[in-house]
Structure 1
Amino acid sequence: MSAVAATVAGSDATTRVRPGSGVLRAVLGNKKALAGAIMLLIFLVAAIAPGLFTSIRHPDTHKFAQLLPPGSGHILGTNAFGQDIWAQLVYGTRQSLFVAVVAGALASILSIIVGVSAAYLGGLGDDLLSLLTDVFLVIPAFPLIIVIAAYAGGGSMLVVIGVLVVTGWSYGARQLRAQAMSLRNRDFLESARVRGERRSYVIVFEILPTMVSLIAANFLGAALYALLTAAGLQFIGLGNSSTDSWGTMLHWAQSNEALQTGQQWWVIAPGLCIALLGASFALLNYAFDEISNPALRPVRRRKVRK
Structure 2
Amino acid sequence: MSDLLAQIDTTGIRGALQPGYDLTGLTWFRVGGPAELLFQPADEADLAVFMGRVPAGVPITVIGLGSNLLVREGGIPGVTIRLSARGFGQVESVAPNRLRAGAAVPDKKLAEAALAAGLGGFAFYFGIPGGIGGALRMNAGANGGETRERVVEVRAVDRQGRLHTLTNADMGYAYRGSSAPADLIFTSALFEGVPAPEDEIRAAMAAVTAHREAAQPIRSRTGGSTFKNPAGHSAWKLIDAAGCRGLRVGDAQVSEMHCNFLINLGAATAHDVESLGETVRARVYEATGERLEWEIKRFGHFAPGREILPFHGLI
Structure 1 length normalisation: TM-score?
A: 0.24
Structure 2 length normalisation: TM-score?
A: 0.23
Higher relative contact order (CA 8 A, sep 6+): 1
Higher strand share: 2
Higher helix share: 1
